[in-house]
Structure 1
Amino acid sequence: MASLGQIIFSSMIILIIIFSAIIILILALAFSGSLSEVQSSNRLPIANLGEDKLLSCYIHTTSEQTTFREMSVTWEKKELSGVVYLYENGAADLKDQNSQYKGRTQIFPDALTKGNASLLLRSVKRNDEGEYTCHISSSDGGGKVNIHLRTAAFSAPTFTFSNGTLSAEASRWFPKPNVTWLDYFGNVLRGSTSFTQNSAGIFSVVSRLQPVNVSDTYTFRIQNDLVIAVSEATITGSGVSKNTYFTYSAASSRPGSYLSIIISVLCIYCLI
Structure 2
Amino acid sequence: MGRLLFFYAFLFYCHFLNALFTVEAPQSLCIVERGNNVTMECTFPVNGKLEFRDLSVSWEKKDGLKQVYVLHKGKEDLKNQHIDFKGRIKLLKENLNLGRSLLQITDVKLRDAGVYRCVIAYGGADYKTIHLKVKAPYRIINQGVVSTGHNEWRLTCQSEGYPEAVVIWQNRNYEDLTYKANTRFETASDQLYLVTSTLTIKSGIDEIFYCTFWNKELQENTTAVLHIADSTDGILQTESRRFVGATLIATAFVGSVLLFLLCIRKGFQVILTGYKRTVENPASIRIYLP
TM-score, length of structure 1 as denominator length: 0.52
Cα drift, residue 156 of structure 1: 1.2
1:194 counterpart residue number: 183
Aligned residues: 197
The unaligned stretches of length 5 or more in structure 2 are 1-19, 147-152, 232-290
Does 2:43 correspond to 1:59?
Answer: yes
Does 2:214 correspond to 1:230?
Answer: no
1:146 counterpart residue number: 129
Indicate the structure with greater helix content. Answer: 2
2:265 counterpart residue number: none
- In 2, distance between residues paired with 1:217 and 1:124? 35
1:14 counterpart residue number: none
- In 1, distance between residues paired with 2:172 and 2:42? 44
- In 2, distance between residues paired with 1:39 and 1:154? 27
Q: Is the 8 A contact 1:184 1:216 kept in 2?
A: yes
The unaligned stretches of length 5 or more in structure 1 are 1-32, 240-272
Cα drift, residue 46 of structure 1: 6.0
- In 2, distance between residues paired with 1:185 and 1:113? 61
1:178 counterpart residue number: 166
Cα drift, residue 133 of structure 1: 0.4
Q: Is the 8 A contact 1:179 1:193 kept in 2?
A: no
- In 1, distance between residues paired with 2:222 and 2:188? 28
Cα drift, residue 92 of structure 1: 2.2
- Report Cα offsets for 1:159-212 as digits up to 9, x if no partner: 546467664320x23443321235677653336243242475543122345559
Indicate the structure with greater strand content. Answer: 1
Does 2:29 correspond to 1:39?
Answer: no
3-state SS of the aligned residue for 1:38?
coil
- In 2, distance between residues paired with 1:228 and 1:67? 45
Cα 1:180–1:90 shift into 2, 3 Å: same
Q: Is the 8 A contact 1:77 1:83 kept in 2?
A: yes
Does 2:85 correspond to 1:93?
Answer: no
Q: Is the 8 A contact 2:30 2:40 kept in 1?
A: no
Cα 1:67–1:88 shift into 2, 3 Å: farther
TM-score, length of structure 2 as denominator length: 0.49
Does 2:185 correspond to 1:204?
Answer: no
Q: Is the 8 A contact 2:58 2:70 kept in 1?
A: yes
- In 1, distance between residues paired with 2:103 and 2:87? 13
1:3 counterpart residue number: none
